[in-house]
A and B are shown apart, each in its own frame.
With several copies, the nearest count.
Chain A
Amino acid sequence: MATQKEILIRVIENMSKKLIAAENELTELDSIGDADCGSGVRRGFEAVSGVMEEFGSLEVGDILKKVGFTLAYTIGGTSGAMLGTGFIETGKSIGEKTDPSASDWANAVQSALNVIKRRGGNTSVGDKTLVDSLEPAVFTMKAILEASQPPESGTGEGSTDNAAMLQLIEGAFMAAKEGSDRTIDMIAKKGRASYVGQRSKGNRDPGSLIIVIMFEAALEVLRSGK
């Protein structure tokens, strides 16, 4: 069975491929912003692809941080800061763990969410940003974990099997997708799109779509089941 590190690398690979392919769609959605979201994300994940060979010598947490810094160093703009922050915080939270549990992953993504919200100037759900897909994903992951197992307070370690992770990411993906869909009817209150007020309605937030694609990329890898 593949190690978590191997799976993570495949997820990052798939994510990069899908996000690079989504360039035009993201740019188009960002045209009520400043139409640079797609090219930034492409630039960022091309750079990630360029540093993948270094992952061999790193563990899970450091791989995530490496991805985060690479994005923060190459994208620029809001998405560079937010995606960079997200991966860096996720990596920090995973820390030295080589085989994090499902609940470690959920906690890690939650701490990423927290820092993203602070970084964005207290972004909330409803502001029409990537938080609208990321926060429901985090809540869903938490809910799934609570429902499926008694709180294992204090232990935290322990290997996590593929099935649990699959269920977790499936839920996150669905929740992110629904959250992203809800951005369509929102009036932007944060980011550039907020300057146009009413006119931001009717357009999906590009950042929220990035989150959807990320969970989708993870899901595809987990489903491929290796």
Chain B
Amino acid sequence: MKKIINKPDDVVNEMLKGLVLANPEKLSAVYDKRIIYRKDPYLNKVAIISGSGSGHEPDQAFYVGRGMLDAACAGPVFAAPTLDAIVDAAKIVDRGRGVLFLVKNYTGDRANFEMASEMLEFEGGPNVDTVIINDDVAVKDSTYTAGRRGVAGAMFVYKIVGAKSEEEGVNLASLKKLAMEVNDNVRSMGFALKSCTTPAKGSPTFDLGDDEIEMGVGLHGEPGRQRLKHMPANQIIKKITDSVIEDLPFICGDEVAVMINGLGGTPIGELYIAAGIVLDMLKDLKIKVFKTYVNNFCTSLDMEGCSVSLLKLNEEFKRLLESPADIPVRYF
């Protein structure tokens, strides 16, 4: 394993330190708990926190800023954040109007946020509520399983809910309702060309042959549902996009936002090839595209591959997607 790291155990802390040093006016951290939070003064808004294992950058520490998240709890690489970090983060960002936890649906994340909520209730505050995000159509939803995972579609939830809270000052219950509404309208699926390698293990989490791809892979290197022979981009992207479209379903006349999300090791040029394929498909189906997002939004360390997310829009979602967010991950 070759990475730009020092000791595997220090990876998350050194990354967060770099993040704060690079954005000294905007971010603060509690390093030993891996909490990143906004430094700019903000008042009279419901605070928004997301948390999960690290290794999905920019999700979620790099989305802390005006118009998006108020704090992020970064766990160790691929392990849910710890109880105390969540509790402390909620106390730091609360401005008296409560805190909304946006949690991607993984057992560990849910369990830790749930414990934190119980502990905060027991301690008498702040007032918190949670929305579980589960946009991954690769996992069949069922009461018999852990349910769908939360993947890149969560970014749409952060963005829309973040803008709403920042700009329109609604209360915790309305914000929760909005988050659930976005989650209900977003669907995603991804595939991997190459597994990620965690710093701790140092070798790929799963082995893919030179001519194999993993369809429906999860964000932590959990193998997907199906291993297929490698195919031209046209075929792979059509397959995953079809699964996404059929699921909601998205139909003729709908207006959508499209996200092509790189998993970390795939160059952005290839993501635009995928974007072209998806946009052609949507055009054929007469699904109107409001805006297309192409980048690494929610990654899996150095995994190669991408995911496709579609969000069905209404006027409110559109307005909130377009409102500016001042976040550390940016170009210029």
Chain A residues within 8 Å of B, Cβ to Cβ: 27, 31-36, 39-40, 43, 69, 72-82, 84-85, 119-121, 189-197, 199
Cβ-based interface call for B114 (8 A): yes
The answer to whether B223 touches A196, judged by C-beta atoms less than 8 angstroms apart, is yes
The answer to whether B79 touches A189, judged by C-beta atoms less than 8 angstroms apart, is no
A-B contacts, 11 of them at CB < 8 A, read: A27-B200, A72-B83, A72-B84, A76-B81, A77-B78, A80-B112, A81-B80, A121-B146, A189-B145, A195-B149, A199-B223
Give the residue of A31, A78, A84 whose beta carbon is less than 8 angstroms from that of B83.
A84
Query: What is the bound-complex CA distance between A186 and B78, given in angstroms?
Result: 24
The answer to whether B205 touches A31, judged by C-beta atoms less than 8 angstroms apart, is yes
Give the residue of B75, B115, B145, B223 whose beta carbon is less than 8 angstroms from that of A72.
B115
Q: Which of B19-27, B103-111, B241-249 contacts A (4 or more CB under 8 A)?
A: B103-111
CB contacts (< 8 Å) of B270 on chain A: these are: none
Supposing A36-B200, A189-B144, A192-B106 touch, asked if A80 and B220 sit within 8 A by C-beta, the answer is no
The answer to whether A76 touches B220, judged by C-beta atoms less than 8 angstroms apart, is no
Query: What is the bound-complex CA distance between A181 and B149, given in angstroms?
Result: 28
The answer to whether B111 touches A82, judged by C-beta atoms less than 8 angstroms apart, is yes
A-B contact count (CB 8 A): 128
Give the residue of B111, B138, B218 whose beta carbon is less than 8 angstroms from that of A192.
B218
Supposing A36-B77, A40-B76, A72-B115 touch, asked if A191 and B107 sit within 8 A by C-beta, the answer is yes
Interface on chain B toward A: helix, strand, loop, or mixed SS?
A: loop
CB contacts (< 8 Å) of B110 on chain A: these are: 121
Q: Can you list, as one digit per residue, whether each of B40-69 has a CB less than 8 Å from chain A (1) or not (0)? A: 000000000000010000000000000000
Cβ-based interface call for B221 (8 A): yes
CB contacts (< 8 Å) of A199 on chain B: these are: 223
Give the residue of B76, B85, B145, B201 whose beta carbon is less than 8 angstroms from that of A35.
B201
Give the residue of A39, A69, A75, A190 whose beta carbon is less than 8 angstroms from that of B107.
A190
Smallest CB gap from A191: residue in B: B107
| Besides A72-B115, A120-B111, 18 new A-B residue pairs in contact (Cβ under 8 A), listed by A number | A32-B222, A35-B198, A39-B200, A40-B79, A69-B84, A76-B75, A76-B80, A77-B75, A77-B78, A77-B108, A79-B108, A84-B83, A84-B115, A121-B107, A194-B146, A195-B223, A195-B225, A196-B223
Supposing A78-B111, A80-B112, A84-B115 touch, asked if A36 and B76 sit within 8 A by C-beta, the answer is yes
Q: Can you list, as one digit per residue, whether each of B248-270 has a CB less than 8 Å from chain A (1) or not (0)? A: 00000000000000000000000
The answer to whether A80 touches B201, judged by C-beta atoms less than 8 angstroms apart, is no
Query: What is the bound-complex CA distance between A157 and B110, given in angstroms?
Result: 37
Cβ-based interface call for B82 (8 A): yes
Smallest CB gap from A37: residue in B: B79
The answer to whether B79 touches A76, judged by C-beta atoms less than 8 angstroms apart, is yes
Query: What is the bound-complex CA distance between A31 and B198, given in angstroms?
Result: 12
Supposing A77-B75, A77-B108, A85-B115 touch, asked if A34 and B221 sit within 8 A by C-beta, the answer is yes
Smallest CB gap from B200: residue in A: A39
CB contacts (< 8 Å) of A72 on chain B: these are: 82-84, 112, 115
The answer to whether B111 touches A194, judged by C-beta atoms less than 8 angstroms apart, is no
The answer to whether A194 touches B145, judged by C-beta atoms less than 8 angstroms apart, is yes
Give the residue of A32, A81, A189 whose beta carbon is less than 8 angstroms from that of B223.
A32
Query: What is the bound-complex CA distance between A75 and B107, given in angstroms?
Result: 14
Give the residue of B84, B114, B205 whose beta carbon is less than 8 angstroms from that of A119.
B114
